[in-house]
Chain A
Amino acid sequence: MTTKTPTSQAIMGDPGPTGRFGEFGGRYVPESLVPACIELEAAFRDAWTDPAFRSELDAVLRDYGGRPTPVTECGRLSEQLGIRVLLKREDLTHTGSHKLNNVVGQGLLARRMGKRKLIAETGAGQHGVATATAAALFGMECIVYMGEVDTQRQELNVFRMELLGATVVPVTSGSRTLKDAVNEALRAWVASVEDTHYCLGSVMGPHPYPWMVREFQRVIGDEARAQCRELLGGADPDFVVACAGGGSNAAGVFAGFADDTSSGLVAVEAAGGAAVTTGIPGVLHGMHSALIQDEAGQILEAESISAGLDYPGIGPEHAHLAELGRARYVSAGDDEVIEAFRLLARTEGILPALESAHALAWVTAATGRGEIAQGSTVLINLSGRGDKDVAQVREILRGRS
């Protein structure tokens, strides 16, 4: 599948040398890291226009990652909801989530830049597992920073990373979740920037990450759009729905639809970490974006059932898409997410990641409210599989009975 090259006029285009999406984005990092960000931007621009790099990336994603992922039409769920539900199956990607698209891209880029080591932050562990996988594949050293709370919530993913040869460092500062893992990864990068690439896991952080990660995830949207047109006789879905923590799977799928379709784009945040709907503009982790913070500007802790969405910010391009009105930002609460998880399991035989279940939870609720009209076609980006969440869901359901 070829990926179209966006123009700067595009809604989801090239943010230029300042890395701005409207007023959002930028590069708010200590001087120690500025040269590395400039070097990375130049390397990415060069690689992204190099057909050899693109074809190598496509080949790895195809032969190793399992792309293209299918779009699955959900017969029983559609019948139950009275709408036509299509799932973009990123859960079928190697390592079980869309995160692989980004780490393969960044891994190849890091190797091209002569870096020998990858560091990464992780929340749920999916990005950590994906980075550890890419490091193993490309023969690189890998250190993953993970909030201590998350290492407990996602114990198996810690073990997975270790099996893949990575070192997992539990982060004990602050709220001990994803935001603190990002802080720690940035701190580690300052001290190792010479030979180390920071493989950031979402469309966040300093320029060029929000743009670069979106471009590496754009493959989701480009594939899905062509697949939908085939299924729908040339039409686009009425809605394209994805969960958003930092927002990489949403950015990837939106990128295929934002510019020249009239599909309604909906990003579903965790109710306890809804940066766009409850946050205000600020600067954290190198970017100007929407953040959950107090009066003085201290960052607040996000709280969600899903470690992958436990983040008080969102990628800057999402703040921009919200401001433009091109995408809507909504939220789903823990209880409805659990119900959505069970619903998809029983109607379609698919266990979604709790993160992805947020998207389904909103679709279910919005259909019930008539916000999604009966007969509509809805594409949900099923960003990851739920195997990692089974133990947690069991505990929650046991606690209820």
Chain B
Amino acid sequence: MSTPSASTHVPGTLESALRARREAGHKLLIPYITGGLDDEWLLVLEALAGAGADAIEIGIPFSDPMIDGVVIQESSLQALARGTTPEGVLADLSRVDVGVPLVVMTYYNLVFRAGHARIAGDMHQSGVAGAILPDLPLEEVGDWARAADAADVATVLLVAPSTPDDRIGDICARSRGFVYAVGRMGVTGEQAVLAESAREVAARIQAHTDLPVCVGIGVSTPDQAAAVCEVADGVVVGSALVRRLLEGVGPDGAAEFVGSLRAAIDAG
């Protein structure tokens, strides 16, 4: 096993926090919500932390979310219709301290438009410890990743089931915080059955890095989360939670669902 990422950089805030959880014997549960979805979204954030989230992923809505399925598309449009902006989401986040690391997920154009150094600095000021930019693959990530490193914002890179092994090592070496394992070849969205690729890709990544490996995309239920965590270090659950929020379950309902994920993972 090679561990290039561990040997070539000083772990940042996100990596340190997630490693500490892992070393304490926890699997990592990272729920996703869309920032600025409604008036209650910060209450939801607090509720998720209280329900056992180890970190929380916050989507900054973009007009053209091309790796997202219908649920996240709808939540993005709803948030944008309320006038949600990247600045607004970060300003909201700066007003809360939920006690777990926050990771933003958005599309590169918003970051490019704001300017790398400026928005990386704003993220850090708002208490954001990491960023996932799914349309910024390894070959294009350099300029952003340097600015993010300088601001202690971890650039979390993705590895997909289609990624060849020789490429996985390069991606892991440049990824910070954790490695995001794409669970299935498809866009975000709930799946009745966990794809076989979810556990396979996690295992393949683990052969290249000792960074935490968390599986997202297509993980929807407590059983699926538990199954993934038999192999992976953690799991990201987005659409299944956001759908419930769109249906109006509110902070309590969100906490109940995330609590059920937590219980299943911990029992597994």
Contacts and interface: CB of A to CB of B under 8 A. Distances in A.
Nearest to B162: A35
B91 to A, nearest CB: 13
Interface string A268-303: 000000000000011111100001010111111000
A193 B162 contact: yes
B112 A298 contact: no
Contact of A31 (B73, B107, B182): B182
A191 interface: yes
B135 interface: yes
Interface in B58-117: 62-67, 69-70, 73, 77, 80, 85-87, 107-114
Q: Bin chain A's interface residue count.
A: 35 or more
Give the interface SS of chain A, mostly helix, strand, loop or mixed. mixed
B110 A173 contact: no
Contacts of A187: 66-67, 69, 187
B140 interface: yes
B80 A298 contact: yes
A190 interface: yes
Contacts of A18: 139
A291 B62 CA distance: 14
Contact of A297 (B73, B110, B159): B110
B167 to A, nearest CB: 7
A297 B114 contact: yes
Contacts of B12: none
A174 interface: yes
A166 B51 CA distance: 48
Contacts of B138: 31, 34
B171 interface: yes
A392 interface: no
A296 B110 contact: yes
Interface stretch (A21-29, A77-85, A333-341): A21-29
B163 interface: yes
A95 interface: no
Contacts of A179: 64
Given A187-B67, A297-B62, A297-B113, 14 more contacts: A30-B66, A31-B137, A31-B138, A31-B158, A32-B67, A34-B162, A180-B64, A183-B66, A187-B69, A190-B186, A285-B64, A285-B66, A299-B63, A299-B109
Interface of A: 18, 26-36, 173-174, 179-180, 183, 186-187, 190-191, 193-194, 281-286, 291, 293, 295-300
17 contacts: A30-B66, A30-B160, A30-B182, A31-B160, A31-B163, A32-B162, A34-B138, A34-B160, A34-B167, A190-B187, A191-B186, A283-B108, A284-B109, A296-B85, A296-B114, A298-B62, A299-B64
